[in-house]
Amino acid sequence: MGDNPRVAYMLEHGPLPHWVKVARHHREQAAQEAAEAASHAESEPEPVPPRGRHRAPRPWWVWPATAISSTLLLGLNALDIVGQNLTHQISFLT
């Protein structure tokens, strides 16, 4: 086995490279922090959402659009009536 380069490298440098040990340490530290966060989250009660409106607000453009359209329709009808009366009174237009 001494002729095998992999075995010779492992005997010279150890069974695991340094980056493996560092990666294991980081994983263990991350797992420990996650466990602490989970235990901390379990100890605190969930925050109660603030009470407020239970439905979405109505769009702001509904009432102004209704008012403008009804005003335009009323104006159109008024102009139509005035136009009919003017043409009947003036004899040379009919």
- What digits encode the pLDDT tens for the residues 41-70? 777 777 777 777 677 766 677 788 889 999
What lies within 8 Å, CB to CB, of 88 at 6+ separation is: 94
> Higher model confidence: residue 73 or residue 65?
73
- Which pLDDT score is estimated for 61? 74
Please report the pLDDT score of residue 14 as a whole number: 76
39 and 9 belong to one structural domain: yes
Write out the two tokens for 44. 């605190």
Rounded to whole angstroms, the Cα distance separating 22 from 52 reads 50
| 56 within some domain | no
Is 57 part of any domain?
A: no
Task: Indicate if the pLDDT at residue 94 is higher than 70.
Answer: no
Query: What whole-number distance in Å separates Cα of residue 80 and Cα of residue 73?
Result: 11
Q: Are 20 and 27 in contact (CB under 8 A)?
A: no
Q: Is there a domain that residue 75 lies in?
A: yes
The answer to whether residues 36 and 66 belong to one domain is no
Q: Does 76 have pLDDT greater than 90?
A: yes
Q: Which domain holds residue 76?
A: 62-93
Decide if 53 is inside a domain: no
Average pLDDT value for the chain: 80
Does any domain span residue 67? yes
Q: For the chain, what is the domain count?
A: 2
In a domain, 48, yes or no: no
